[in-house]
Structure formats: structure tokens, C-alpha cells
Amino acid sequence: MRLILIFVFTLNLFYGNAWGDESKPSGVFVNFIQFEGNTLLDHDTLARRVPIGEGTILSREFMRLFAEEIRGYYSSQGFHHVIVHPDYRVRDGIFTIKIYENQERPENPQKAYREVQRMMARDNVDLDFDAVKTAVRQVMLAYQKDERILAEKILRQRENILLYNSLQLKEQRERVLAIMALRERIQDQMNMLIVRMRENATRRLEQMNIIQSYLDSHKEDDLTLPYLDTRQEAKFLP
């Protein structure tokens, strides 16, 4: 796998521009690869599996192949449950490969002992019984510390989520109370407006009744006027 990756990478490095448009590279420039989450294998060991020299242009396909190479190397070292994901968002020329080793953490002394044996075989180191026992204890303590840190991180995240939810509920409750208060003010104003409209209507009705009574009284006066002859009316004319 590594030989194929290096061969394809070399072809892309020297002949990549001849296969496509030189003005439009098919990837982004990367001058450094960093690893996140690796504790079983150090950075230098992993970086030797995906050499990029002083920098090159990597496409998404090559980023995926690099991640597959790292996962394959983990598997060759006995870590078959490691998850590797490439982060395609390259920032300042830095390509990040995220590694999740949670499934490989030893949960008992037997797994820790096998982990120490793998490390001894990898580094070609021969330790006596006391040194192996100390190494097993250190491995278990290291992973217990990681588990404790992870548990504290999850607890903080849950607390932050609960705090955020409580703040959201408080904000929503305040909004509901504000809306209810606004509705009450609007209802009070509408009631006052209705009362004023009724008062105005009553006042106008009274005025209309007064006018109507006045007109009726004058109409009766007109009907009770004495009949005057036109000749008698002429006497009153100047």
C-alpha cells in the first residue's frame, strides 16, 4: 500500500500538471501534515508514512489515501480498531489527519500487557519482568487518565448543553411573558377605545334626540300659527 501511494504521489508531483490545466490545480498546497488524537504512535512515526517533502499540492483523493495509509499502518502494528479521518479543510498549508484510538485503549492488565509487548517488538527492546510490570502499570495509568479527561470533557459538554438549554428556556419564558404583557396592554387600550366609542355614540345619540325634539317642537309651532289673509298680510308690509 505504501509503495503504491508513493508511486502515485510521485507521478502526481512530477507529471500532475501535464495531465490537467496548469492554471487550475486540482487541490490545495500542503507543506505540513499534523495528526490529532494519536497516543499509540508518535508524530514522527506517522509522518514517515506520508512524506510530502517541502510541500506539494494535494487533492481530496490524495488526502483520503493518506488517511488510509495511516489506518493501514495502525492495523499493521496490531491496532485494528483505530478510526482515521482526513480533514479536508487545509488552513495555512497544514493538512490535519484526525485519529480516534478509543476502541484500542486497554481495559484490563491483559490488554495493557499485550500493548507493552507490541511496543517492545516495535522498538526491538527486551525488558525484564519488573520493567514490563512497571510499563503495564504506566500504560494503564495513562489510559485511565485519558478516560478521566474524556469523561470530564463529556461532563463539561453536558453541563454546557444544560446551561444553554436553561438560558434558552429562560429567554423563551421572558419572551412569552413580554408578549403576554403586550397583549394585555393592547387589550386594555382596546377596551378603553370601546368605552370611548360607546360614550361618543351615547353623546351623539343624546344630541340627535335633542335636535329631533327641537325640530319636532318647531314643527308643531308652525302648524299652530293663525291663518292670515293675503290682504291682511299686506297691512304688515311696509
- The total number of structural domains in the chain stands at 2
DSSP per residue, 90-120: EETTEEEEEEE-GGGS--SHHHHHHHHHHHH
Structural domain contains residue 122: yes
Structural domain contains residue 232: no
Are 158 and 120 part of one and the same domain?
Answer: yes
For the beta carbon of residue 212, count every other beta carbon within 10 angstroms.
10
The span from the CA of 98 to the CA of 94, in Å, is 13
Instruction: Give the predicted TM-score (pTM) of the model.
Output: 0.41
For the beta carbon of residue 148, count every other beta carbon within 10 angstroms.
10
- Listed residue (161, 106, 165) closest to 137, CA to CA: 106
Structural domain contains residue 16: yes
Identify residue 183 by its one-letter amino acid code.
Answer: R
pLDDT tens-digit profile, the chain (238 residues): 555 555 555 555 444 444 444 444 578 999 999 999 888 888 999 999 998 888 889 999 999 999 999 999 988 887 787 889 999 999 889 999 999 887 666 556 767 777 788 878 888 888 887 888 888 888 878 777 777 787 788 788 888 888 888 888 888 889 899 999 999 999 999 999 999 999 999 999 998 988 888 887 776 555 555 544 545 544 444 5
The span from the CA of 137 to the CA of 19, in Å, is 55
